Amino acid sequence: MDQIITRFPPSPTGYLHVGGARTALFNWLYARHCKGKFVFRIEDTDQVRSTAASVDAIFDAMAWLGIDWDEGPYFQTQRMDIYKDHVQKLLRSGHAYYCTCSPEEVEQMRQKALASGGKPKYDGTCRDKGLGPDDHAVVRFRAPLSGTTVIDDVVKGPIVFQNAEQDDFIIQRSDGTPTYNFVVVVDDMTMGINTIIRGDDHVNNTPRQIMLYQAFGAKLPVFAHVPMVLGKDKTRLSKRHGATSVTAYRDMGFLPEAMINYLVRLGWSYGDQEFFTREELIEKFTLENIGKSAGVFDMDKLLALNQDHIKATAPERLADMLLPFLHQKGYAAEKGNYLCKVIRTLAPRVKTLVEMAEAAAFYYVDEIVYQPDAAAKFLNGDHLKALRLIRDELDALDPVTETNLEESFHRVAGETGWKLGKIAQPVRVALTGKTASPGIFEIIEIIGKERVMGRIARAIGWIENQTVSG
């Protein structure tokens, strides 16, 4: 069996979006699963819309997702001599010919065909004229006039096209530049691509491409046309559904592992399993498990999956991804044991890294801002005695461990007659400003005795000041 060779050929006319990223992942996973090759190609022949910024954005997205390649990146604009050579091959073999019909004349042919109930297409005026090169001539492919062209699609099954409905399409424009369907075939042939996984919006291009393979005497690749990704309203995914660039999801605090997991599950399944690591996807990914129905992009499901991946990811790895978000907020955070401890307390409680950075505030700020409702309820005269007793207990505590803290809180509970939860809440608000947080003993141990004592003293002062003012 031949080595499996797949490819991903984005056009650099914008950012890498959700649908494009899923296509890249399907090709990459299948190549890795089969121990084959994955080729990366930039289809930049559209010089008007292609930009260097878009190329950089695509590279950035691929790097974030961890999609590497074995060959490339190839740029079509650097392969023009190869395309011209292949145009000449088709001209010599009689599979292509020069055409001098003007765009206006071709449009008249199409309108005439439509008026008579036919397909709007070029009528073959120059097909047998034997014309030579000319400044205004295009090169057209000589398409078969009868029979059928069949796509043996791995996902959709056989798709049959009547050749009589195809026209002699242009493979080289009058300015000498090649057209999309032509360069794609030449690229895939010369790069040895034998498995093409792409969106089903390309189905109508495929019969023309198959005709070109046959004209060159080349072996057809395996085609797998994947259903599109839709929004929750079952229309094609667009910006209104949140279909921004892939890197926008990175900036929203999603993990690349979660994004990969979610995108692959949009159209592929393995039983009822939802959560996959990258390694599991490589192990299990096959073309046979790609579904026939469109995937529906659901932000709530992506958030839930991201939460699961945050919980499953080692704090050391999360630290690298979380640091930019902490620095964005102005926190003097750095890699190390302290940050890993912070992450362990927050990971079970958040859905994104943005949420984690927001929740980490009390670990890094110098002065806690109390939520008004929390302060009104728990930083008042009723809780003053408990806070003072906790302060005294902490002052005498050495070392500060969870066991020692629990014993201290129990002693305060005995003295006040309160349950531990009632004592913990004013301490929690004093340390975090909120009524909800990770475990109070964990927080105290991480923040450290000196900072904890300072925050409790400030809370006591706050209550005393409120009492005097009142």
Q: Kindly report, residue by residue over 317-354, the tens digit of the pLDDT.
A: 999 999 999 999 999 999 999 999 999 999 999 999 99
The number of beta carbons lying within 10 Å of the beta carbon of residue 130 is 8
237: confidence class by pLDDT, cuts 50, 70, 90: confident
Q: In the chain, list all ranges with CATH 3.40.50.620.
A: 5-71+228-304, 79-226
Assign domain 366-469 to a CATH class: mainly alpha
Assign domain 79-226 to a CATH class: alpha beta
Pairing mode of beta strands 148-153, 157-162: antiparallel
Q: Is the pTM of this model over 0.75?
A: yes
Per-residue three-class SS string for 108-146: HHHHHHHHCCCCCCCCCCCCCCCCCCCCCCEEEECCCCC
For residue 1, the model assigns a pLDDT of: 64
Provide CB contacts within 8 A for 429, sequence distance 6+.
370, 371, 374, 375, 378, 379, 435, 459
Q: Kindly report, residue by residue over 112-146, the tens digit of the pLDDT.
A: 999 998 889 999 999 999 999 999 999 999 999 99
Q: In the chain, list all ranges with CATH 1.10.10.350.
A: 366-469
Helix (H) or strand (E) holding 99: strand 96-99
Answer yes or no: are the C-beta atoms of 33 and 283 closer than 8 Å: yes
Answer yes or no: are the C-beta atoms of 171 and 182 closer than 8 Å: yes
Task: Taking residues 440-444, report their average pLDDT.
Answer: 95
CATH number for the domain formed by residue range(s) 5-71+228-304: 3.40.50.620
Cα dihedral angle (136, 141, 146, 147), rounded to 10 degrees? -160
Between CA 151 and CA 146 the distance in angstroms is: 16
Task: Taking residues 208-217, report their average pLDDT.
Answer: 98
- Write out the two tokens for 248: 């926008």
Decide if 156 is catalytic.
no
Cβ burial 409-439 (10 Å sphere, 16+ → b, else e): beebbeeeebeeeebbbbbbbbbbbbeebbe
Task: Taking residues 290-315, report their average pLDDT.
Answer: 95
Q: Kindly report, residue by residue over 75-88, the tens digit of the pLDDT.
A: 999 999 999 999 99
> Which alpha helices (H) appear in 219-314, and where do they start and end?
246-251, 256-265, 278-284, 299-312
Question: Catalytic residue among 35, 234, 239, 419, which?
Answer: 239
Strand spans (E) along 163-309 = 170-172, 195-199, 222-226, 229-230, 295-296
